């Protein structure tokens, strides 16, 4: 408890799944959390859940593909709290579709959220953090950034790009004027609404009447089976905390052994 006491943290895609778990865990550890999501009612519900537990949180609707909204949110946090200590770029979408059936618009939609949203968030946060001389950014990548999976061309490519973007940001953030740390988390298969949709999509692509076969296959992808959002949240808290003060540019795999297979 208290590993993030007093830190001002912004989490995107926090209305459900991994983002929700990170926002709750960060608040439990003492952070002042801004819960951001394109779904205004979802982020409001998570913020209410956090404050109901006696912790500090506010909701901010945020379309991560909108650069003007990013400026509004980050400038608003800086005006209210005087700084932004940490950002978790967690918002993302996934598309399960054969490569030959993936349209250019499909690719652009996945990249708009997963890559461009992360780019805009990293840029906006670094501008605010530079004024304070410090900060920590955690960008959500995936084991699929380096471990390709059929039917996931757009998603795999977007997460590989997020990883490389984050490494460049880590190099540029580690200056004499500011120590802005940038790291990526690479989850394995995690029990989230997005994974449930993926299982449903693959089941439909294969023409199956039940998702049992696909669900069992996804469970086997990771030696430790399907993980929980809290598993990722613990890693995010570490990277946001002062315990990781000398950690930047790293790829933290929290994957149940997926990269071993």
- Report the CATH number that the domain containing residue 116 is assigned in CATH: 3.40.50.720
pLDDT at residue 123 in the model = 98
Is 238 noted as a catalytic residue in this protein? no
Give the global pTM. 0.96
- Tell me, yes or no, whether 217 lies in a domain: no
Domain range for 14 is: 8-188+229-254
pLDDT at residue 175 in the model = 86
- Tell me, yes or no, whether 21 lies in a domain: yes
What is the distance between the alpha carbons of residues 247 and 118, in angstroms, rounded to a whole number?
19
Is there a contact between 232 and 254 (Cβ–Cβ < 8 Å)?
Answer: yes
Tallying the residues shown for the chain, one arrives at 261
Parts of the chain with a pLDDT under 50: none
- Tell me, yes or no, whether 202 lies in a domain: no
pLDDT at residue 176 in the model = 73
pLDDT at residue 201 in the model = 86
- Tell me, yes or no, whether 215 lies in a domain: no
- Tell me, yes or no, whether 111 lies in a domain: yes
- Tell me, yes or no, whether 120 lies in a domain: yes
pLDDT at residue 177 in the model = 81
What is the distance between the alpha carbons of residues 254 and 261, in angstroms, rounded to a whole number?
14
Report the number of distinct structural domains present in the chain.
1
pLDDT at residue 164 in the model = 98
- Identify the active-site residue in 111, 119, 155, 218: 155
- Tell me, yes or no, whether 221 lies in a domain: no
Q: What is the CA radius of gyration of the chain?
A: 18
What is the distance between the alpha carbons of residues 109 and 103, in angstroms, rounded to a whole number?
10
pLDDT at residue 135 in the model = 98
- Tell me, yes or no, whether 203 lies in a domain: no
């Amino acid at each position: 408890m208290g590993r993030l006491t007093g830190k001002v943290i912004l989490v995107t895609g926090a209305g459900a799944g991994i983002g929700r778990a990170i926002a709750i865990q960060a608040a439990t550890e003492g952070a002042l959390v801004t819960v951001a999501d394109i779904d205004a009612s979802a982020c409001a519900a998570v913020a209410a859940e956090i404050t109901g537990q006696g912790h500090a949180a506010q909701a901010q609707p945020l379309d991560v593909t909108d650069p003007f909204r990013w400026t509004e949110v980050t400038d608003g946090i800086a005006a209210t709290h005087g700084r932004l200590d940490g950002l978790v770029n967690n918002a993302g979408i996934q598309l399960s579709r054969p490569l030959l059936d993936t349209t250019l618009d499909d690719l652009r939609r996945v990249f708009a959220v997963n890559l461009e949203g992360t780019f805009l968030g990293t840029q906006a946060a670094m501008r605010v953090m530079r004024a304070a001389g410090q900060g920590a950014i955690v960008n959500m990548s995936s084991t699929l950034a380096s471990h390709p999976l059929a039917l996931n061309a757009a998603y795999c490519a977007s997460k590989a790009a997020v990883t490389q973007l984050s490494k460049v940001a880590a190099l540029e953030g580690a200056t004499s004027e500011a120590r802005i740390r940038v790291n990526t988390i690479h989850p394995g298969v995690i029990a989230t609404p997005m994974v449930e949709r993926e299982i449903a999509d693959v089941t439909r692509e294969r023409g199956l009447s039940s998702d049992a076969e696909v669900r069992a296959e996804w469970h086997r992808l990771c030696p430790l089976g399907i993980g929980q959002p809290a598993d990722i949240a613990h890693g995010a808290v570490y990277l946001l905390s002062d315990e990781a003060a000398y950690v930047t540019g790293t790829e933290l795999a929290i994957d149940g052994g997926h990269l071993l297979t």
